[in-house]
Structures are given as structure tokens and as C-alpha cells.
Amino acid sequence: MPFLNVAFDPGERLQVDIRFSAGRMQVGELSLGRTAGTVTSRQGTLTIGIGESEIYGGFGAGTLSLTRLDGKSRWDCTMALDGIEAGPLLQSLVGLDSVRGSGAMRFSASGYGDTLGDVLSALEGRGRVDLRNGTLRGVNIQAVAQAMASGRLEDLPAASNGSSGFLSLNTGLVLTSGMATMESFALDTGSLTVEGEGRVQLAARTIDAQAVVRLKDEARGTEAIPEIPLVVRGNLSAPRVYPPTRWLLRRASPASVADPIRLDLRGAQSFTDNPSGPRPLSR
């Protein structure tokens, strides 16, 4: 599917300067409300500038430039969004429906290609996401909290099913060859916090990340595990979530008798033997 349904090769002699205002715009799958901006073409580059646009409950501004180099399309984009609903925006842009919440996003990126998949696979740049009062699909953070509070790690397989509410989600992003590396990822659900880092393949929509989950003091019981490392790997819509095997073995070793937990290693085996497999966690 073409990224844009136009065949435009701005020549160096062609100059265009258009200002526009619209009550509603549709750009591919992206729906915009009241929008004001410009379209210019100079020295072989077509640029669409958005001064302000109503977008998914918030406001946005930015630029999108297209340059044809050696028969290839180069796209450069800067974007600042505030007060937006992340769910419908990400669904429209990249077909991702696993993150919802309202907040702010900042991106500056470039890539080559004539299809959305080609551009996503070649993206380079940086970004930041700050969301609040949202949900994550495919990961049940509450199940993690319950397993930690009770000390029963055999209950962790439930963490790969369902969805989770969060109070805040914050992360920086570095885009390299279509891969988004999360920097200083932080999530707060009210009962626990999650800090981590990892990589997301944008075109393939897969994740490979490591995180540390910490129970807040008020959520800890007498047998609680206050901190646990987790691996998150697989498809973004249904990733597998499990603790590293080495950490499990250390918790189950005789040296841990002074700090015992109830752990059935046979149950743990189902989610550590094949961490990269496509099937979801099961007991």
C-alpha cells in the first residue's frame, strides 16, 4: 500500500507556497479536526507544515517533508502533541492498539521508502512519550502485583493475559533503523512501579525488554517479594512475561532458606524453558 496516493517529484525549479485552513481533514487513516497550515515546495523538497491541529482530543503541530533522492522518497517529520488520546492515534499511525492513555508525545525522525512499512523499517530519530490514566493490553500488571504480594511466583503466568491500568507511563525513545529503543521507561500503577529498558521493532511490532517491578510499601504483606526482574518478549499485542531463569534458581536455592517463598519449579519451567517462543504463558 503506498504511503501517500500521490506521485510527486518536486523539481528544483518548481516553487509552491500555499496556506490552508480546514474544519476537518483526513490524511490516510489519520483524522484531524480544525487545522491550519502551509504547503511549500522549494529546491526539490515538498513540506507540509501544521501550525495547529485538533487531533484525537488534543492539539498538535509539526512538519512533514518529502524529498526525492536517486529515485527514493526521503521523509522528515517533527511532531509535538499535547492532551491527545494515544490509543486512536497509534492505531491510525502504525496499527498499534495495545497502549491507551492521554498525554504528550514528541518526535523528530526521518526515513526512506514509498510504503509505510518501508519508512518504519528505516526510521532514525528521537522521541518521548508521557501518558497518564491509561491501560496496557497484553500484560496484566495486577497479576504481577498479586504474585509478588503473596510470594507465589507460580501465579506469574497470569501476567501475560488481560490488561493493566496505570497512573503514568513515561519513556524516551531512540529510533535506529526502524527499531525504537526505550530509555528510562517508567510506569506507576499505584500499587507498584516498573522501570526498564528494551527495544521495539516498529514494522514487525515486537518487543524485547527487561524490567524491574517494585511493590510500594503499602502493598507489601509479610511474605511479599518487594522486587522482581521480568523479561517482556514477543508480539506487542500479546507479549510473554516471565522472570529470568537465573533469578528463579537463586530464589529456590538452599541459600535462600532464611527468606523462603513458595515456589514450584515445575510450574516455573513452563515459562522459562522457551522464553522466545510464540505461545503465551501457561501453567
> In the structure, what pLDDT confidence band is assigned to residue 276 with cuts at 50, 70 and 90?
very low
**Whole-angstrom Cα distance, residue 103 to residue 109?**
20
> In the structure, what pLDDT confidence band is assigned to residue 136 with cuts at 50, 70 and 90?
confident
pLDDT per position as a tens digit, 146-178: 777 777 777 666 666 778 899 999 999 999 988
**Whole-angstrom Cα distance, residue 133 to residue 276?**
31
Which of 36-45, 98-107, 239-248, 267-276 is predicted with the least confidence, judged by mean pLDDT? 267-276
Q: Which amino acid, 201?
A: Q
> In the structure, what pLDDT confidence band is assigned to residue 269 with cuts at 50, 70 and 90?
very low
With 70 as the cut, is the pLDDT of residue 228 above it?
A: yes
> In the structure, what pLDDT confidence band is assigned to residue 11 with cuts at 50, 70 and 90?
low
With 60 as the cut, is the pLDDT of residue 9 above it?
A: no
